Structures are given as structure tokens and as C-alpha cells.
Structure 1
Amino acid sequence: MTIAEREQTTPFSRDVVIVGGCGRVGLPLGLALASRGLSVTLFDINTAAVASVNAGVMPFAEDGADALLGGLLAEGRLVASTDAAAVGTAEILVVVVGTPVDEHLSPDLAAVPQAIQRCAEHLRDGQLLVLRSTLYPGVTASTEKLLVQLGVEIDVAFCPERIAEGRALTELFDLPQIVSARSDRALGRAEKLFRHLTDEIVVLEPEEAELAKLFTNTWRYVKFATVNQFWMMVNDFGLDFARIRNAITHGYPRAADMPMPGFAAGPCLFKDTMQLAAFHRNNFVLGHAAMMINEGLPAYLVSRLEARFDLAASRVGILGTAFKGGSDDPRESLAYKLRKLLLPKAAQVLCTDRYVRDERLVDLDRVLAECDLLIIGAPHREYADLVTDRPLIDIWGLTGRGVRV
């Protein structure tokens, strides 16, 4: 009897298997579900991440995760595996593979089907497959068709993740969960799963849920672009945007959500804005304008530095290379774009980050000792009280000394 045949005749031994389970979306979800009493297997093809998890060591930083991981492993409620056969051991599969964009900024619709096909021989009738990451509209429907083609009777739901890195193990329990499915049975099963985490469930149709996730990230991206454009406008006029923003937001609730300027980056916001543009036949002027503003911010900053300093004779230090403050995640960080633009213009460029693992980075003390000009690339809290006699460029307003460049 083959493994696949044996799986079809044996009862499920686990509650949940998370495909891609050792990443920044899957692992916090696995920890959260296991902490609520479910048995969870994290299936991942990243052997290093699987080994790290099984050794009780988080492969990335996430508040509260270290305290949970060891205990859940010891109790047998959480385990990581590189064996695709694990997919057949649980009634519920959660797939955290999303839709990326390619080098042409077009959605790669093959990513989710490929992830499912890699473990297709282990799929079992009666399972519930929950798609969890950001999807291009229509991918849930195409997944349903794929499972029919594979000849398995599996319910499908799309329940988008809504967490912010670093706060996942708080937000998984505090935020309402969006649940969508085509059938009442699939919807009920998905709702039952996520009621282990939260009592507040928001029900949508799959296509509505797919767009809700894209709208959420695009809204944030456009909001950041608006403020970045404001900052450049004010900065060109020789004024300090921080003072204007403080006046606007002080005691005025309708402007309370206006952020400070800064690099709008990371693995989601830009990507999802481009997905939404593709969905509407690239007729998304606002989204493309936001992309030009946010992606152009490092170039604007370099142009202002050239006007103010002799870059060719300056050693420049970039403080922070993560895509956001307090994170160890450098994916799509615009601090690296800033570095790339500065390399041919400055005498030397040194980068530092206490959280990010990158062999190109150096210690903060070396940057402070050797560099003539400092730029905050990621708003880590440690930089707020930095003591230095060198010019410090802080477009984030982290130091409270103004944001004019």
C-alpha cells in the first residue's frame, strides 16, 4: 500500500497542518492555534527554519513567540516537518503561500497552485483547505477548480491574515477574523477554526475577501505616499513638516491617523498595490502615483543630500536596514535602495542594524566613529536618543529634532 492509499484509510492524527508553516505568517498562526489546544504541524520546505523551530529557536523575531515555542514543542502540540506526507495527517490545511508579483510587477498566479500541487498526492477527501495569505482576486476560485481536477473532495475557504509583524501573537487574538467560502459547510468549518482565536468573525464572499485584503494594504500605502508627498513639498519650501503635522493632529480627531514621513516598504504594501492595479487593467492612477512617490523617496533624499553636503568626500552611515522599526525583516527595505543610490556618490557607505542578519552590516559603534553623515533608514527606537556630533538625517521624526533636509 502506498503512502497516499494508507493516508486515505487512516484517521486524522493532527488538527491542523500549515503549509509554509515556519514563515512569518504561518509560524505565529501555528503557535496561536496550538496555544488554544489544537495539535499543529508546520510543513515547510525550508530545512533550516524547520530545524530551528524543532530545536525551540525562533527563526525570526516575534514578540511573545520564544516563551510559547518551547512549551508547545514539549507538549507535542506543535511540530515542524519537511515531509510533504504531513499534509495528509490533518483535517484542516492552512496554506500561507500568497500571490507574489514578478519582475514586470504582474501577479504570479502560479504560486498558490504550485504549492498545492507539490503535496497533491497527500490531499484527502473531507479536508478543509484554508488559503491564508494575500491572493489576487480569483485565486480562491481557481484553487477550487484545481482540487476538482485533482479528484479530491475538499472544502475551500479564504481567510486573509491581518497581522503586523512583531504583534502577531496579540493581533491574532484581538482582531476580527475575515472568513469567506463558497459553501455554508466550508464557511462553518473555517469559522469554527478561527473561533479558537477570536469571537468576532466577519463573513464575506471569497472575491470580496480577496479585495478586502488588497484594499487594506493599498490604503496604507496610499496614505504613506500622501504624507511623503506632503513632506517633499514642505521640505522644498524650506519648512519643517513635523511642526505642521503636529499642529494638524493636535486635538483634531479627523487628522489623528496622519503618519510621519518615511520609507513605505516591506513585502506587502507595494506588492499588493501593484496587484490591485493589475486587477483593474492597470487603470489605477492613484496606486501608480503612490508607487512613484514611495519608491522615489530614496532618490529625492539623495538629491537633497547632494545639495547640502559634499557627498563625494563624505562617509555616510545608514542606521537601520529593516523595512520598519523594531523588525528584523529586511525584505523590500528602501534603506537598501538608499544604499545603492549612495554607493556611486559617497566616499563610503556603511550600514548597521542590530536586528537584521546581513554580512554587509557593521556595528553601530563603527558607523558612529567613521561616518561624517548619518541617515536613519529604519526607525528603531534605539536611534531616538542617539548622541552624536555628526549631521543626522531623520525624516521619520524619531529624534524630535525636526525632519527638514
Structure 2
Amino acid sequence: MRDEVLAGTRAAGFGRDVVVIGGCGHVGLPLAIALADRGASVGIYDISRAAVDLVNAGRLPFEEPGAADVLARVVAAGRLRADVDPGIVSSAEAVVVVIGTPVDEHLNPDQTAIPQALSGSIGHFRDGQLVVLRSTVFPGVTALVEKTFVEHGLSVDTAFCPERIAEGRAMTELFELPQIVAGRTARATGRAARLFRLLTEQIVEVTPEEAEFAKLFTNVWRYIKFAAANQFYMMANDRGVDFERVRHAITFDYPRAADMPGAGFAAGPCLFKDTMQLTAVTDNNFALGVSAMQVNEGLPLYLTTRLERTYDLANLKVGILGMAFKGGSDDIRSSLSYKLKRVLAFKAGAVLCTDPHVTVDAALRPLDEVLAEADVLVIAAPHAEYRSLVTDKPVVDIWNLLGNGVVV
């Protein structure tokens, strides 16, 4: 199958098989690496010169287990090259666009962001290309992108093939998870399916509109489950009951509750944003999604209130352990650890922050300094490094990393 796909690309007269727009990020780069490792000739277009230079040197701009050695290998083999010049877009038969639908300061999605971004580089697209939208989009954006190409007189096939990976598992899940493929025509769907069969034989074909909702529903479903767990945690905690002991009783050898998550910060660049997108789809009548947002976004406030009731917070230093949005990650996008920091900065005597993975925040302190100076500790991100934490200071551990329960 790989030889069939790549031979077809070369026969079409393109110098590369694939170019990934936005390909130096957490979604685009693992995909580019994986395709290159399966034999494709891959280009990356990204506006970050620093990230492009790192990739071309065979180095990752962020942490992703299992990706570093593969990146170095495909760069050395000449199968992957990044560039800040949008002209690279014209070199490939397939163009994968990793640009999502953002939400503004009022939590409204900007449905025109992707078409506008593509319009800025429209002169670099060519007739006969396959254009694949990869990030989450607002329902109807795929059709709007198709219209954009038609209005510019371009004959391209467009498909929406949403990414399904979790950060930290990309180099496994790209090859193991079924790929949703959605084209308006049989030709567009077939071309996209052939491309992603370089990674997996499991292809699920739907319409673009079905795929758009499938991606949103997936992320929002996770967000709602986390909200339910966090609400249960608050209910139990307010009565002095350890939610983790309750959850163990519920889930132990009982399959109907096996997917109940533990409490913790539900954050990152997708779950909250996509819940707000789905809220906009329903003309702001998605009460379940809004409630989930209130619960999840309210957890840092809740923990601060509990600390105020237990300690003389105004005269104490609080140490926050973990500023990434999830355990084992260096990604701080939409991290609720920073919301906790802002709230505590108003309530506590001082706030000290640390993280073993994050490198972009110059205000972070080494762990040993935070442990020495803080009066109270909060494990905000469940990094494995904290499992062996030894301290005589009180620890708020909603993840139960230390195994001492989650009561605050």
C-alpha cells in the first residue's frame, strides 16, 4: 500500500508526497514524522523560525515520547524538511492543514479563521492537490474551505480527517487508532484514505459534517466526564469523604463504572475550547457543556477556598508542583495550574511554582527550593517525578499520586 500511494504521488508530478501546514506543533509534527518514517517525502510549513530550525537539526521543539529518535532518522535520511517559506506548499500532492478553529475572548468560535489563513497562502496551492483539514473545526468549516478554493479558481480535493491522538502517545496512537476520513466526493475520500493507510489500515468513512461533529463530540464527552468526576470529588470532599476510596469501590471489578476518571484539572488546548464551540453550535443552549465548564474551571477556586478554611493562607507560602496542563507534558497551553497561581497570588502570602518538564517559564523555581521555602504544597500536574515526593509539609494531592487520599 505504501508503494502504491507514493508511486501515485510521483506520477502526478509533485516533488513531495505531503506538506503539513503548522507542522512543527504538537499535532502536525508527530504526523509529519510518522508519514516520513513510513517512506513518504514530507515537508513542513511553519511560521516559527525557531521551531523550524530545531526540526531541521533533527531535534524536537517539545516533548513527545518516542518521537525524538524517529525525527533524527527521517531528517538524516532526507525525508523530512521544514521551512518558513509558504512556497513549500506547492511542492506536495497532499497538503495537511493543522489549523484549528479558535475561540475569542468572549468564548465565541471564529469560523472564518481557517479559510482566512488559507487565503493568505492561496497562491501556493496547485490544481490537483489533496487538502486535508486535520485539527478540530466548527461544523460547516470544511464546506467553507471548499468554497474558498472554488472562489480562487482552484481544483483541489478537500477532506476533513480529524486528529485523534493524545499528547504523549502520538507515536503509538497514530498507528493504532482508526482514522476518520471524510470527503465530499468519492475521489476526495479515496485519496485521503490512501494517504492515511500509510499509517493504519483501519479507515472510517463518513461525511464532512459527520466528521466535524464526531471530533467535537469526542472532546466534549471527555470534558463532561472529567466535570462529573470533579463535581463528585467536591461533594465528597465537603463532607470529609475521600473521593478516591469511593471511586475505587465503584470501579473495582464493575465494568459499568470502569471509565469514571479521578478528580483533577481538566485543561489543555482542546477540551474547553471545543466545548465552547459546541455551545455556539446550539446558540448557547448547551447547558450540560456550560455546566461542565463551570465545574472544571472552578476547581482551582474550590481548592483555594478549602486551603483558606484550613490554613492561615494570607501568611503562608504555597508551592505549586506542576505547571503543564497534564502529567508528563511540557505543554502549558490553557493549563489550570496558572489559574490556580493567579488565584493564590491574591489570597496567599506568596506562590512558588516548579515543573520538571516546562522550559518556557523563566519564573519557575527548582523543586528543592520550592520544597524548602513553601509552607503548603499543591500537586497541580500529576508528573511521575512527584510520586516519590518526600516532605513534612502538608500536600494537597487531588490526583492521589502519593496514595494518601484526596481530602483537602
Q: Deviations over 1:40-72 (max 9, x none)?
A: 001101111001111111000001111011111
> How many percent of aligned residue pairs carry the same amino acid?
63
What pairs up with 1:221-370 in 2 under 5 angstroms? 221-357=223-359, 358-370=361-373
**2:152 maps to 1:150:** yes
Q: Deviations over 1:211-240 (max 9, x none)?
A: 000000000000000000000001111111
Paired residues of 2:58 and 2:76 also in contact (CA < 8 A): no
Unaligned runs of 5+ in 1: 1-9
Deviation at 1:118, TM superposition (A): 1.9
What pairs up with 1:168-183 in 2 under 5 angstroms? 168-183=170-185
Where does residue 45 of structure 1 map in the other structure?
47
Q: For 1:249 and 1:327, how far apart are their aligned partners in 2?
A: 27
Where does residue 220 of structure 1 map in the other structure?
222
Deviation at 1:399, TM superposition (A): 1.2
**2:186 maps to 1:184:** yes
Helix, strand or coil for the counterpart of 2:17? strand
Q: For 1:221 and 1:286, how far apart are their aligned partners in 2?
A: 10
1:397 equivalent among 389, 396, 400: 400
Where does residue 203 of structure 1 map in the other structure?
205
Paired residues of 2:63 and 2:330 also in contact (CA < 8 A): yes
Deviation at 1:199, TM superposition (A): 0.6
Helix, strand or coil for the counterpart of 1:340? helix
Q: For 2:346 and 2:286, how far apart are their aligned partners in 1?
A: 34
Q: Tell me the TM-score normalized by structure 2.
A: 0.96
Where does residue 7 of structure 1 map in the other structure?
none
Q: Deviations over 1:52-104 (max 9, x none)?
A: 11111100000111101111111110000011110100110000001011001
Q: For 1:59 and 1:117, how far apart are their aligned partners in 2?
A: 27
Deviation at 1:313, TM superposition (A): 1.2
Amino acid at match of 1:84: P
Q: For 2:367 and 2:220, how far apart are their aligned partners in 1?
A: 34
Q: For 2:113 and 2:21, how far apart are their aligned partners in 1?
A: 13
Helix, strand or coil for the counterpart of 1:344? helix
Helix, strand or coil for the counterpart of 1:263? coil
2:124 equivalent among 119, 122, 125: 122
Amino acid at match of 2:14: F
Deviation at 1:108, TM superposition (A): 1.0
Q: For 1:135 and 1:288, how far apart are their aligned partners in 2?
A: 19
Q: Tell me the TM-score normalized by structure 1.
A: 0.97
**2:377 maps to 1:374:** yes
Q: For 2:346 and 2:99, how far apart are their aligned partners in 1?
A: 37
Helix, strand or coil for the counterpart of 1:189? helix
Helix, strand or coil for the counterpart of 2:378? strand
Deviation at 1:383, TM superposition (A): 0.9
Deviation at 1:114, TM superposition (A): 2.1
Where does residue 133 of structure 2 map in the other structure?
131
Instruction: Point out 4+ residue stretches in structure 1 off by more than 4 angstroms.
Output: none
Q: For 1:98 and 1:270, how far apart are their aligned partners in 2?
A: 13
Q: For 1:375 and 1:247, how far apart are their aligned partners in 2?
A: 26
Helix, strand or coil for the counterpart of 1:225? helix
